[in-house]
């Protein structure tokens, strides 16, 4: 039996499609590319390999039919309203997310959420299996799809399967809390190659396989005990940003003019501090505000000379932990402004919005001090985006040692956000270090990101996937 259906040599599966749906006044549906780094990276590899992308469209209900957009074949996966609640908001964001981020808030465990997670992972795998050409490369993304590798292998043993984790992989002591820990590991072990942000994350995974599944492991390789002789490699391939694309955006005269305008509209402060985060408890926004408030109270700094712009992009607003975080942050901002602001010069400019990329690039250029203070973050792209936009070598990056980014950008003004006194000192150092020293630091940070951009990340990942051991050749010596 022959089939005329077109299939693809590279299939990416991610929770979301790389496009957002927009409906015009006449009710016509249009899809617009969402500007994430992953999409940019994929574009560069898909130019030479015809590629498909499997993902959820973002709306509950039946999946729209597959379509082609900007050189990619897009294959939507449908989620019912209950599945959005149980698979996405529930198991992904209220069970796995807290466990994988040091249990900053308690995780919720519900068996119906797990059932939805299994069902949706299987649905993704079925879509991948239909789109993949014989011997294709399949690249599955992130914590929402940890069972998909094994489901894909059952359906399509001929394809090469990789998975990349955008968030941390927790130490076994935390991972072991999950009632479904063995199934999650077995799901991941369906892959040939597993990529992580940091070597420590890869080691945590290997240790979990040893301790919880009793498997043998040597270095980065875990040996399966199912009689197949198969090995799975787990290592770090840290993600990055589209350095060239973003730098040239930041060099546009309109963006540079907008950066100046932003500073003027804030009253041209001596020091503009900036935070840009999804409104998430992992990002350390509370700790940052506390340190800033203390610096104001102790009169080290104060408006109008110094001000803070905090962009908190709306996120996961139906999950309770996110609602209460928002309330707490907004109360804190109100208190700081009420007690320490001046007429025409608030101490904190708090913006609960999402902005276009051009505006973000302008904000990065306007900011003298960028505050990236997560309690735990897989990578943190904002840190890399900030230095990419600083082609003028201006600005200073305060960076938490609990981000993946810090392992590459440790020349930044390092902080431990739990240590409020230390965080305050890092903020003051970022303000007071002489300009020439700050330029030297910025040059080094920029060089690192320029040499390790997202295109390189994607190429390295796919090369590692191709070279993954699978079933190693028998030793010729017998």
Chain residues binding ligand GDG by CB under 6 A are: 35, 166-167, 239, 276, 278, 313, 354-357, 360, 377-382, 385
Nearest of 250, 270, 243, 228 to residue 389 by alpha carbon: 250
Q: Tell me the sheet residues that pair with 275.
A: 310
In the complex, minimum distance from the CB of residue 219 to ligand GDG, in angstroms, rounded to a whole number: 24
Distance of alpha carbon 369 from alpha carbon 361, whole angstroms? 14
If the CB atoms of residues 117 and 196 are measured against ligand GDG, the closer one turns out to be 196
If the CB atoms of residues 363 and 465 are measured against ligand GDG, the closer one turns out to be 363
In the complex, minimum distance from the CB of residue 378 to ligand GDG, in angstroms, rounded to a whole number: 3
In the complex, minimum distance from the CB of residue 313 to ligand GDG, in angstroms, rounded to a whole number: 4
In the complex, minimum distance from the CB of residue 261 to ligand GDG, in angstroms, rounded to a whole number: 18
If the CB atoms of residues 44 and 313 are measured against ligand GDG, the closer one turns out to be 313
If the CB atoms of residues 138 and 167 are measured against ligand GDG, the closer one turns out to be 167
If the CB atoms of residues 39 and 333 are measured against ligand GDG, the closer one turns out to be 39
3-state secondary structure of 348: strand
Distance of CA 53 to the CA centre of its chain: 18
3-state helix, strand, coil in the chain (%, to 5): 45, 25, 35
If the CB atoms of residues 357 and 429 are measured against ligand GDG, the closer one turns out to be 357
Sign of the alpha-carbon dihedral angle for 222, 226, 230, 234: negative
Edge-to-edge strand list for the sheet holding 132-141: 67-69, 72-79, 51-60, 8-16, 132-141, 160-164, 193-196, 231-236, 221-223, 216-218
How far apart, in Å, are the Cα atoms of 158 and each of 133, 136, 468?
Answer: 9, 8, 14
Q: In sequence order, which residues have a C-beta less than 8 Å from that of residue 233 and are 6 or more positions away?
A: 192, 193, 194, 220, 221, 464, 468, 469
3-state secondary structure of 198: coil
In the complex, minimum distance from the CB of residue 338 to ligand GDG, in angstroms, rounded to a whole number: 26
If the CB atoms of residues 34 and 182 are measured against ligand GDG, the closer one turns out to be 34
In the complex, minimum distance from the CB of residue 385 to ligand GDG, in angstroms, rounded to a whole number: 5
Edge-to-edge strand list for the sheet holding 369-372: 348-351, 306-313, 271-278, 369-372, 396-400, 413-415
If the CB atoms of residues 129 and 361 are measured against ligand GDG, the closer one turns out to be 361
In the complex, minimum distance from the CB of residue 222 to ligand GDG, in angstroms, rounded to a whole number: 23
In the complex, minimum distance from the CB of residue 250 to ligand GDG, in angstroms, rounded to a whole number: 12
Distance of alpha carbon 287 from alpha carbon 183, whole angstroms? 36
Angle at which helix 285-297 crosses helix 420-432, to 10 degrees, equals: 70
In the complex, minimum distance from the CB of residue 280 to ligand GDG, in angstroms, rounded to a whole number: 6
If the CB atoms of residues 276 and 295 are measured against ligand GDG, the closer one turns out to be 276
If the CB atoms of residues 199 and 425 are measured against ligand GDG, the closer one turns out to be 199
Characterize 103-139 residue by residue with b for buried, 16 or more Cβ atoms within 10 angstroms of its Cβ, and e for exposed.
ebbebeeeeebbebbbebbbbbbbbbbbbbbeebbbb
Report, in angstroms and rounded to the nearest whole number, the Rg of the chain calculated over CA atoms. 23
In the complex, minimum distance from the CB of residue 281 to ligand GDG, in angstroms, rounded to a whole number: 11
The secondary element (H helix, E strand) that includes residue 432 is: helix 420-432
């Amino acid at each position: 039996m022959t089939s005329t259906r077109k299939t693809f040599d590279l299939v990416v599966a991610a929770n979301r499609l790389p496009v957002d749906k927009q409906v015009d006044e006449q009710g016509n549906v249009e899809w617009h590319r969402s500007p994430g780094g992953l999409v940019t990276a994929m574009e560069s590899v898909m130019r030479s390999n015809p590629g498909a992308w499997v993902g959820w469209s973002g709306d509950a209900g039946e999946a729209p039919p597959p379509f082609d957009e900007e050189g990619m074949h897009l294959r939507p996966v449908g989620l019912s309203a209950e599945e959005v609640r149980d698979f996405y908001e529930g198991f992904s964001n209220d069970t796995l997310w807290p466990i994988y981020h040091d249990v900053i808030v308690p995780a919720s465990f519900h068996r119906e959420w797990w059932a939805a997670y299994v069902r949706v992972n299987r649905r993704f795998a079925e879509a991948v299996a239909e789109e993949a050409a014989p011997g294709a490369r399949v690249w599955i993304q992130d914590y929402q799809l940890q069972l998909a590798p094994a489901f894909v292998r059952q359906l399509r043993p001929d394809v090469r399967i990789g998975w990349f984790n955008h968030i941390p992989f927790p130490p076994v002591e935390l991972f072991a809390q999950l009632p479904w820990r063995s199934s999650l590991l077995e799901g991941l072990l369906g892959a040939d190659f597993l990529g992580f942000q940091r070597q420590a994350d890869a080691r945590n995974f290997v240790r979990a396989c040893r301790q919880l599944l009793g498997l043998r492991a040597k270095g980065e390789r875990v040996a399966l005990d199912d009689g197949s002789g198969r090995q799975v490699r787990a290592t770090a391939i840290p993600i990055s940003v589209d350095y060239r694309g973003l730098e040239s955006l930041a060099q546009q005269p309109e963006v540079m003019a907008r950066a100046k305008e932003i500073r003027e509209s804030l009253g041209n402060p001596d020091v503009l501090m900036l935070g840009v985060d999804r409104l998430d408890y992992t990002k350390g926004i509370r700790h940052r505000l506390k340190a800033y408030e203390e610096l104001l109270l102790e009169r080290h700094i104060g408006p109008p000379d110094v001000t803070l712009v905090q962009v908190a992009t709306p996120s996961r607003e139906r999950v309770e932990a996110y609602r209460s975080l928002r309330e707490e942050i907004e109360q804190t901002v109100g208190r700081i402004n009420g007690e320490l602001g001046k007429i025409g010069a608030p101490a904190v400019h708090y913006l609960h919005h999402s902005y276009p990329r051009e505006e973000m690039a302008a904000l990065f250029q306007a900011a003298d001090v960028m505050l990236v203070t997560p309690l735990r973050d897989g990578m943190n792209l904002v840190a890399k985006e900030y230095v990419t936009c600083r082609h003028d070598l201006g600005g200073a990056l305060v960076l938490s040692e609990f981000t993946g980014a810090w392992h590459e950008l440790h020349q930044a003004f390092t902080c431990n956000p739990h240590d409020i006194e230390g965080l305050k000192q890092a903020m003051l150092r970022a303000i007071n270090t002489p300009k020439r020293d700050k330029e030297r630091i910025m040059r080094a940070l920029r060089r690192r990101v320029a040499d390790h951009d997202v295109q390189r990340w994607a190429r390295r990942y796919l090369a590692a996937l191709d070279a993954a051991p699978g079933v190693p050749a028998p030793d010729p010596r017998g």
